[in-house]
Amino acid sequence: MNDTVTYLIIVRALCCDQAERAVQRILEALPGVHRAQVSAAAGRAAVDADPAYVDAAVLTAALAAAGYPARLQPR
């Protein structure tokens, strides 16, 4: 059984509900992502994922490629 890790990602350019939904769709389309909760108001996403398939670099690269610069939130 694989573990699930929650990545907290700061996402720039989250200006509205439409952007929020777009970021959620991008993240949830990635292999290994179980769930993404995105908040435009907070400017971040919480992503539950299997670290055997996806890591923070993959998540932030996918968002950047779609025009949403992102970085892992420091803990």
Averaged over successive runs of 10 residues, the pLDDT of the chain (75 residues) comes to 88 94 98 97 97 96 97 90
Give me the number of domains the chain comprises: 1
HEC readout, 25-40: HHHHCCCCEEEEEEEC
CATH of the domain at 53: 3.30.70.100
Domain span at residue 47 reads 5-72
pLDDT of residue 20: 96
β 44-49/5-11 pair status: antiparallel
Among residues 23, 29, 34, the alpha carbon closest in space to that of 63 is found at 23
What's the confidence (pLDDT) of residue 74? 87
**pLDDT score at 2:** 65
